[in-house]
């Protein structure tokens, strides 16, 4: 009992200290002109994975990996916010802080996890970590709340004290759901350099039985599977995860069938959730409208050189943001299809439209007043018979052309790339994806720009590419272009978007 009371006090103290640190920095962070206008960010300092994303008592709750003490990863807490529409977010007090002094607990950080509604009690399952003899021990723990705001850690923690023989010390990121009479949990792990998703079941969220390996790498699918998520979609099952060490594939989905009697998931289809370099650890929820919605951290570990910060914004006391929420559906060919949630339309203000416009090489097409660093663009190009080599957009360009980000489609190779070599002097690399469309079909691009983020949907929403850029605040011009020959732009709609903050 004494230990329990001490535990509660130390958690509250740790939370207060964290809130105090944010209160000191948030006004400086808020003034940074590169803060996003309609993507979710912490009030200040570091953010990574979405955690505990849930539709609970009619509202969306989003928790997130958060270091309230600085703009770099460390001392993982769970930040917390809620929203009625997935667009406007209200920050809530930090929900979890690493605090517990006793062994096998969370002093090394409260790592990623998920939330469930347990008969009205908002319950979090997370990975507690502690550094012991240079080894990071990872266990699964539980915290719950009656009011959806203040969380008490379960005195019986950890609820899973260590990995099964199929796993290893990398044993983290529990995602929990209900099926029939039982709770199920998928946990990311690794063994012999192969990423794995491990399955558990429980009647009460506190006592867990290991079921087996839900899926694992065949040797080509990454060395550790972080942040797995598993859900039913259109009669099939989807496993999403973020594999470490799988090259340009940073978030994968597997589609297959689940047999709960045997615990076997048999998959037949694999794809990328996003083809950009900054979309990691997506987590999903099922909402009151029956939609499966995902949100992800707008960075990724594997792509950042060790000597580089995750964003130049950390000079301004913040780093990290979440993607815009996307719905996930099965398309007719049995693959995943992602659309921006329709609620984002409330942000639309001035609208500009052109129809059947010839875009000739070197011509100015878009008016200066369409320029914006916070905009949505839907453009459709007529490609049958088109002789152009490349078409695309210059985005976030400076008046003197010194800074620009090029979104380019190559008609010969079918490749779509985001050329950041002139974006800002900081960003590197040219993320690219080969589209699945046939050459003659019209090309439709749906683009969202929000200061440092560019999200592009294409291939009838089967392909998404998300990347960050950090141009000067004054670089807001945009233009459409064609190289080699002209192209007909069947239509373009541009909306300037208002800020959601």
Q: Which of residues 393-412 bind ligand FRU (CB under 6 A)?
A: none
Tokens of 116: 């469930």
Q: Which of 451, 376, 404 has its CA nearest to residue 41? A: 451
Sequence-ordered list of residues with C-beta below 8 angstroms from that of 464, at least 6 positions apart, any chain? 273, 274, 275, 276, 279, 326, 338, 455, 456, 457, 458
3-state secondary structure 251-283: CEEEEEEEECCCCEEEEEEEEECCCCCCCEEEE
Select 72 or 179, whichever has its Cβ closest to ligand FRU: 72
Sequence-ordered list of residues with C-beta below 8 angstroms from that of 427, at least 6 positions apart, any chain? 420, 467, 468, 469, 470
Does 77 contact ligand FRU by CB under 6 A? no
Select 196 or 496, whichever has its Cβ closest to ligand FRU: 196
CA–CA distance, 182 with 228 (Å, rounded to integer): 19
Does 48 contact ligand FRU by CB under 6 A? yes
Q: Which of 108, 468, 426, 109 has its CA nearest to residue 300? A: 468
Sequence-ordered list of residues with C-beta below 8 angstroms from that of 203, at least 6 positions apart, any chain? 181, 182, 183
Does 112 contact ligand FRU by CB under 6 A? yes
Does 65 contact ligand FRU by CB under 6 A? yes
Does 137 contact ligand FRU by CB under 6 A? no
Does 111 contact ligand FRU by CB under 6 A? yes
For 319-374, give the DSSP string: E--BPPPEEEEE-TTSSEEEEE-GGGGGGEEEEEEEEEEEE-TT---S-GGG--SE
The one catalytic residue in 27, 32, 49, 331 is: 49
Select 76 or 124, whichever has its Cβ closest to ligand FRU: 76
Task: Work out how close the CB of 229 gets to ligand FRU at its nearest, in angstroms, rounded to a whole number.
Answer: 12
Q: Residue 167: in which H helix or E strand, if any?
A: none
Does 323 contact ligand FRU by CB under 6 A? no
Select 320 or 471, whichever has its Cβ closest to ligand FRU: 320
Tell me, by CB under 6 A, how many residues bind ligand FRU: 13
Does 67 contact ligand FRU by CB under 6 A? no
User: From the CB of residue 169, how many other CB atoms can be counted at a distance below 10 Å?
Assistant: 13
Select 49 or 229, whichever has its Cβ closest to ligand FRU: 49
Tokens of 266: 């048999």
Does 106 contact ligand FRU by CB under 6 A? no
Does 227 contact ligand FRU by CB under 6 A? yes
Q: What is the CA radius of gyration of the chain?
A: 23
Select 106 or 226, whichever has its Cβ closest to ligand FRU: 226
Task: Work out how close the CB of 65 gets to ligand FRU at its nearest, in angstroms, rounded to a whole number.
Answer: 4
Q: Which of 42, 76, 411, 487 touches ligand FRU (CB under 6 A)? A: 76
Q: Which of 100, 226, 278, 450 touches ligand FRU (CB under 6 A)? A: 226
Q: Which residue is nearest to ligand FRU (CB)?
A: 111
49 is catalytic: yes
Tokens of 459: 């291939």
User: From the CB of residue 271, how many other CB atoms can be counted at a distance below 10 Å?
Assistant: 15
Task: Work out how close the CB of 164 gets to ligand FRU at its nearest, in angstroms, rounded to a whole number.
Answer: 18
For 461-475, give the DSSP string: TTEEEEEE----TT-
Q: How many residues in total does the chain contain? A: 501
Select 172 or 317, whichever has its Cβ closest to ligand FRU: 172
Select 320 or 340, whichever has its Cβ closest to ligand FRU: 320
- Dihedral Cα 416, 421, 424, 427, nearest 10 deg: 80
Q: Which of residues 269-308 bind ligand FRU (CB under 6 A)?
A: 280-281
Strands (E), 33-181: 45-56, 59-67, 77-83, 89-96, 109-118, 121-132, 135-145, 152-153, 171-179
Q: Which of residues 342-371 bind ligand FRU (CB under 6 A)?
A: none
Does 139 contact ligand FRU by CB under 6 A? no
Select 148 or 188, whichever has its Cβ closest to ligand FRU: 188
Does 446 contact ligand FRU by CB under 6 A? no
CA–CA distance, 184 with 176 (Å, rounded to integer): 6
Give the residue numbers marked as catalytic: 49
Query: What residues line the site for ligand FRU (CB under 6 A)?
Result: 48-49, 65, 76, 111-112, 127, 172-173, 226-227, 280-281
């Amino acid at each position: 009992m004494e230990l329990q009371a001490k535990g509660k006090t130390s958690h509250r103290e740790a939370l207060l200290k964290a809130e105090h640190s944010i209160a000191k920095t948030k006004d400086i962070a808020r003034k940074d002109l590169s803060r996003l206008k309609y993507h979710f960010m912490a009030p200040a300092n570091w953010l990574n994975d979405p955690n505990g994303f849930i539709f609970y008592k009619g509202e969306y709750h989003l928790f997130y990996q958060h270091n309230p003490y600085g703009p770099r990863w460390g001392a993982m807490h769970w930040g917390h916010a809620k929203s009625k529409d997935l667009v406007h977010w209200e920050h809530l007090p930090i929900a979890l802080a690493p605090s517990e002094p006793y062994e096998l607990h969370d002093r090394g950080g409260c790592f990623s996890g998920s939330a469930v509604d347990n008969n009205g009690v908002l319950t979090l399952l997370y990975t507690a970590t502690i550094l012991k003899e240079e080894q990071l021990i990872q266990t699964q723990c539980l915290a719950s709340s009656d009011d959806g705001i203040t969380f008490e850690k379960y005195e019986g923690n950890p609820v899973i004290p260590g990995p099964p023989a199929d796993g290893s010390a990398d044993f983290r990121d529990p995602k929990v759901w209900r099926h029939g009479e039982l709770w199920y949990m998928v946990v990311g792990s690794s063994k012999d350099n192969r990423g794995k998703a491990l399955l558990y079941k429980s009647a009460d969220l506190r006592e867990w039985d290991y079921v087996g390996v839900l899926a694992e790498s065949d040797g080509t699918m990454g060395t550790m599977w972080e942040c797995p998520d598993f859900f039913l979609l259109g009669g099939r099952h989807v496993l999403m995860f973020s594999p470490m060490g799988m090259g340009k594939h940073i978030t994968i989905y597997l589609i297959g069938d689940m047999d709960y009697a045997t615990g076997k998931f048999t998959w037949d289809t694999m794809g990328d959730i996003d083809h950009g370099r900054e979309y990691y650890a997506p987590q999903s929820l099922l909402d009151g409208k029956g939609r499966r919605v995902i949100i992800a951290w707008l960075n990724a570990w594997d792509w950042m050189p060790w000597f580089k910060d995750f964003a130049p914004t950390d000079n301004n006391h913040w780093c990290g943001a979440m993607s815009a929420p996307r719905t996930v559906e099965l398309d007719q060919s049995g693959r995943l299809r992602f659309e921006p949630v329709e609620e984002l339309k409330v942000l639309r203000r001035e609208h500009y439209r052109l129809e059947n416009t010839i875009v000739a090489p070197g011509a100015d097409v878009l008016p200066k007043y369409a320029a914006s660093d916070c905009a949505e663009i839907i453009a459709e190009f007529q490609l049958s018979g088109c002789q152009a080599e490349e078409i695309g957009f210059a985005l976030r360009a400076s008046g003197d052309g010194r800074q620009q980000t090029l979104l380019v489609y190559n008609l010969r190779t079918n490749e779509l790339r985001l050329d950041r070599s002139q974006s800002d002097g900081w960003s590197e690399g040219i993320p690219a994806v080969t589209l699945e469309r046939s050459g003659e079909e019209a090309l439709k691009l749906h683009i969202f720009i929000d200061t440092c983020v560019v999200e592009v949907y294409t291939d009838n929403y089967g392909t998404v590419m998300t990347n960050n850029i950090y141009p000067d605040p004054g670089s807001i011009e945009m233009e459409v272009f064609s190289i080699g020959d002209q192209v007909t732009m069947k239509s373009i709609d541009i909306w300037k978007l208002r800020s959601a903050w």
